[in-house]
A and B are shown apart, each in its own frame.
Chain A
Amino acid sequence: MKVIATLIMFVFMFAGNGFAGEKQLSLDGSTTVGPIAKAFAEYFMKNDPNLNISVSESGSGNGAKSLISGNCHIGCMSRPMKDKEFKMAVENNVTPTPHVIALDGIAIVVHPSNPAKALKMEQVKEIYLGKISNWKELGGPDMKIVVVSRDSNSGTFETFNKLVMNKGNVVNTAETVGSNGAVRSRVQSTRAAIGYVGLGFVDNSLKALEIDGVYPSKKTIQTGVYPIARPLYMYTDKYPKMGSLVYQFVTFYLTKDGQQLVEEIGFIPCTSY
């Protein structure tokens, strides 16, 4: 009894001023855009302690759905909205308005011990189709390729699907994981693995490959030379009211600090600032 009473007291200590004009913003969506959203949120919350910005990372598809059903203010997506989603939005009186906050390249990554340095787009597609199943077919060691892919709720997957697979189906022996971070974990611990991640997730524990002779970097993505490049979106319902919190958040990327943050996280800023 006493325990419960003390717990309740403890909780009431935080009752505080729940009503007093605390502003709130909720984001949901892509795990690729997630780190950017989280960094932006922290920047905003540091400058104004009355803010409460919550970030959910459940996949680009869910970001769209949350925005359409009014469950979030900003839907982060690493792919553009699909026609079906637009239709649904219109039916719900939501006008999805895209804001491109950063650029990204999907890097094809392997374990650093893998001698492979460059692959052609066709070869990547065949690996994911299952047609090439052993590294020795590409001049590497005699190991079965462990194909790592994303599950169907992922914007990264959709972009990869569109730009690389081009209507082919990923082989069903591929392991599916739920996020960029998980792809990285799998590939960095498995010598025979291959996977794809957003550029911001590439670090020393992975090796990014040249695709069709182009290495993913800020220059090659901004100039469009890297073949698997994509914009990262934040969708809002109609263009946000000037000066509102949502407006400030989705135009933050235009400021110098915003661009610097994007670059520090590892993605490509849209402009040269």
Chain B
Amino acid sequence: MNKPLNKMAVQATINGEPTAFLCSPGQVLADVLRDELELIGTKIGCNTGDCGACSVLVNDRLVCACLVLAAEIEGQAVQTIEGVAEGGVLHPVQQKLLEHAGLQCGICTPGVVVAAKALIEHNPNPTEEQARYWLAGNLCRCTGYDKIIRAVLDAAQQMREEAAV
């Protein structure tokens, strides 16, 4: 039987803050974020990388935190949903999701926010089709995606307009 108390020490940057934690060798990043660091905004819907509720950025790369071993992020930078609103100001994706009613139960919302923000950073002017394919890994069972896609396209447009000023 594995010894559950066999822990590794890991140092990483989480939402811009230097952070140290202990994890077991097999523990995934999603569990560490939620259980060790109390960052419960990262949701677990499947634990197999199929639903996208645990979407986070590791060194600006969009990943499912349930598929990343926590030990792998030694020395890396992780951004979670808790790091999206800067200084208490909502990111345009968050604001537009609220305005468009782009959430119902809200369990997929943190993952959608993280993924959509990454989309716009990657492609400031996404088409509807590009947004749909980028977000195809973020399952939502409530909305039919209509208002999510509208919110993301609206947020991208607002950010382009702000950047042009």
Q: Do A and B come from the same complex?
A: no
